[in-house]
Chains A and B, each alone.
Chain A
Amino acid sequence: MTQRDRDTPLPVPTAESRPYWNGLRAHRLVLQRCAACKRPRHYPRPMCAACFSLDHEWFAASEQGLVHSWTVCHHAFHRGFRSETPYVLLTVDLTDGVRMVAPLVEADASRLSIGLPVVLDYQDVNEEITMPRFRIHERDE
């Protein structure tokens, strides 16, 4: 995917999610986990659904993952993505046990299958926002 059209919707980080977005800005994957039982969670939220602790912490997560599912977007439902179709959106099982959805760098879905290894990549959109994306993890990497 090339440099984004400025018309694409941008995230509005909240007090709850800002460390995640700040991590992407620094080209690091920073995820939330429960401070009491250490269970990772995504997307960021106030309470642990396993032990109900309201305390959380942030940790540097692995950028590796496996394809869980995908779609190839041929029709843009937002004008900002019209110049990008077709684009692939991956749902990825991250090594740390949560999932992320982000575009695949290449537009070709023919190599995709459940369990295919992918690795996180970063795309700077502007001075404040960096978006996640994935590329296929090649064997010789």
Chain B
Amino acid sequence: MNTLRDTAAVTGVGETRYTRGTEKSALRLTLEASLAAIRDAGLTPPDIDGIVAYASGAVVAEDLLTNFGCEDFRFSATTPMGGASAVAALQCASMAVSTGVATHVLIPLGRDGYSGARINRRVGQMRQFRVVSEFEAPVGANAPAQYYAPMARRHMELYGTTSEQFAEVALTMRRHAALNDNALMRTPITVADHHASRMIADPFRLLDCCLESDGGAAVVVSGAERATDMAQPPILLSGMGVGHPDSPSAITQRPDMTRLGLAKAAPRVFEMAGVTPDDIDVAEIYDCFTYTVICQLEDLGFCAKGEGGAFVEGGRIGLGGALPTNTHGGLLSQAHVAGLNHVVELVRQLRGETGARQVDGAEVGLVTGYGDLGDGSIAIMRRQ
């Protein structure tokens, strides 16, 4: 039996302002966010003795140590799962602090995704994309929109999922972003705006695709006992896990391309946390594309495969609905820091400090990551 349940807590969170355009380096953005998270936890930089750095980013642990003046650093790791890395890092950090290998582990993530290298260049440098680089990039599949669009198209053909349902996701994220003064896209949009936005990789229109942005986020993970004595109310990590889809190196060869790695991890993680989907008060779901939210809601067990499109209708995933989702605006409308902004938002929701976008009485929440060619990660957290 997995014994990680409630052995670690998120004790600090921090973010920079998100922008589209910056003079700051990814390291500078990472340091700003890290400092904010460390101070939020009531710590100073030398207190950090472990780091889970972003495997797909430009910043390594040594860069932070040099700036932090850490003298007795004990644990360094990466969780190379693309956009699933940040949530996977929570599991990694929990293992380190619950075993006493480290005391306070920092998960930092800063990127100049708007001002620096764009997505098509970034994926070409990732080893997880080696196979598709040889066989699929030369035929014209050069970015995630083009890799994932056939998953969405097949879902539409098999289950009748519609572009109107994709729009429902985009509109909901935008409404939430309007309540967040650190979100980049706050102007309300309509279904007509969604349908009029230019086609990128059918069925994905521009408003089905996440933002490219500059900025940083960071969280501190500490042992659960230590956390009771720190600056913030501890947010316990009750369940964590990762899952890889069948044929993880190529979507093309996957027996069922509508089923993600998350589908394997979710049952394990709900069991570890001792809760069911009905217990989740707020969800932060990795939203690189609108369709990806619909597919993950199915793979998490909130509804059956094929029913995700209907699930997002009628305000169910909006504030005031049964499952408020991406209350910060998500990657679609807040900013893209590879989903660590989703972790920060869930912690703030469970602390009850999100103001106009606060989910009343939020006690148990869930965050997911989605990366590479369908890798999944999930964490369930609760207020102590």
- Give A contacts to B, CB under 8 Å: 8-14, 17, 42-43, 68-78, 81, 84, 86-87, 89, 91, 98-103, 109, 113-114, 129, 131-133
Classify chain B's interface size.
20 to 34
Asked if residues B140 and A89 are in contact (CB atoms below 8 Å), the reply is yes
* Of the residues A8, A73, A87, A100, contact of B138 by C-beta under 8 Å: A8
Asked if residues B137 and A70 are in contact (CB atoms below 8 Å), the reply is no
CB distance from B48 to the nearest CB of A (A): 37
The complex places the Cα of A29 from the Cα of B297 at a distance, in Å, of 39
Q: Which residues of chain A come closer than 8 Å to B139, judged between CB atoms?
A: 89, 101-103, 131-133
Q: Which residues of chain B come closer than 8 Å to A129, judged between CB atoms?
A: 138
Add 17 more A-B contacts to A12-B134, A72-B199, A114-B158 (CB < 8 A).
Answer: A9-B137, A9-B138, A11-B134, A11-B135, A17-B134, A69-B150, A71-B149, A71-B202, A72-B201, A75-B199, A75-B201, A87-B140, A91-B150, A101-B150, A114-B154, A114-B157, A131-B139
| Binary A-proximity of B354-366 (CB < 8 A = 1, otherwise 0) | 0000000000000
Asked if residues A77 and B120 are in contact (CB atoms below 8 Å), the reply is yes
- Residues of chain B in range 173-203 having any CB-CB distance to chain A below 8 Å: 198-203
* Of the residues B133, B151, B202, B250, contact of A109 by C-beta under 8 Å: B202
Q: A9-B137, A74-B199, A131-B139 are in contact. Are A42 and B253 (CB under 8 A)?
A: yes
CB distance from A94 to the nearest CB of B (A): 11
Q: Which residues of chain A come closer than 8 Å to B143, judged between CB atoms?
A: 77
28 contacts between A and B (CB under 8 A): A8-B138, A8-B140, A9-B133, A11-B135, A17-B135, A43-B131, A68-B150, A69-B151, A69-B153, A69-B154, A69-B157, A69-B257, A71-B150, A71-B153, A71-B201, A71-B202, A72-B199, A74-B201, A75-B198, A77-B119, A77-B142, A86-B199, A98-B253, A99-B253, A100-B252, A101-B150, A114-B157, A131-B139
The complex places the Cα of A126 from the Cα of B348 at a distance, in Å, of 56
- Give B contacts to A, CB under 8 Å: 119-120, 131, 133-143, 145-146, 149-151, 153-154, 157-158, 198-203, 249-250, 252-253, 257
Asked if residues A78 and B202 are in contact (CB atoms below 8 Å), the reply is no
Q: Which residues of chain A come closer than 8 Å to B202, judged between CB atoms?
A: 71-74, 109
Per DSSP, chain B at the interface is helix
Asked if residues A71 and B138 are in contact (CB atoms below 8 Å), the reply is no
The complex places the Cα of A96 from the Cα of B377 at a distance, in Å, of 34
Q: Which residues of chain B come closer than 8 Å to A77, judged between CB atoms?
A: 119-120, 142-143, 145-146
* Of the residues A11, A69, A81, contact of B142 by C-beta under 8 Å: A81
Q: Which residues of chain B come closer than 8 Å to A70, judged between CB atoms?
A: 150, 153
Asked if residues B146 and A73 are in contact (CB atoms below 8 Å), the reply is yes
The complex places the Cα of A133 from the Cα of B143 at a distance, in Å, of 19
Asked if residues B150 and A89 are in contact (CB atoms below 8 Å), the reply is yes
Asked if residues A99 and B134 are in contact (CB atoms below 8 Å), the reply is no
Q: A74-B200, A89-B150, A91-B252 are in contact. Are A113 and B157 (CB under 8 A)?
A: yes
Q: Which residues of chain A come closer than 8 Å to B131, judged between CB atoms?
A: 43
The complex places the Cα of A76 from the Cα of B139 at a distance, in Å, of 12
Asked if residues A74 and B142 are in contact (CB atoms below 8 Å), the reply is no
The complex places the Cα of A14 from the Cα of B131 at a distance, in Å, of 11
Asked if residues B153 and A101 are in contact (CB atoms below 8 Å), the reply is no
Q: Which residues of chain B come closer than 8 Å to A109, judged between CB atoms?
A: 202
The complex places the Cα of A9 from the Cα of B250 at a distance, in Å, of 18
Q: Which residues of chain A come closer than 8 Å to B200, judged between CB atoms?
A: 74-75
CB distance from B111 to the nearest CB of A (A): 18
* Of the residues B137, B150, B151, B199, contact of A78 by C-beta under 8 Å: B137
Q: Which residues of chain A come closer than 8 Å to B138, judged between CB atoms?
A: 8-11, 129, 131
CB distance from A133 to the nearest CB of B (A): 8
CB distance from A139 to the nearest CB of B (A): 22
CB distance from B295 to the nearest CB of A (A): 14
Q: Which residues of chain A come closer than 8 Å to B198, judged between CB atoms?
A: 74-75
Pick the most buried of B140, B143, B150: most chain A CB atoms within 10 A of its CB.
B140
CB distance from A93 to the nearest CB of B (A): 10
The complex places the Cα of A110 from the Cα of B265 at a distance, in Å, of 37
Q: Which residues of chain B come closer than 8 Å to A10, judged between CB atoms?
A: 138
Q: Which residues of chain B come closer than 8 Å to A114, judged between CB atoms?
A: 154, 157-158
The complex places the Cα of A17 from the Cα of B154 at a distance, in Å, of 28
Q: Which residues of chain A come closer than 8 Å to B149, judged between CB atoms?
A: 71
Residue of B whose beta carbon sits closest to that of A13: B134
Q: A12-B134, A70-B153, A72-B202 are in contact. Are A78 and B142 (CB under 8 A)?
A: yes
Q: A71-B150, A98-B253, A99-B252 are in contact. Are A78 and B201 (CB under 8 A)?
A: no
Q: Which residues of chain B come closer than 8 Å to A81, judged between CB atoms?
A: 140, 142
Residue of A whose beta carbon sits closest to that of B136: A101
Q: Which residues of chain B come closer than 8 Å to A75, judged between CB atoms?
A: 145, 198-201
Residue of B whose beta carbon sits closest to that of A90: B150
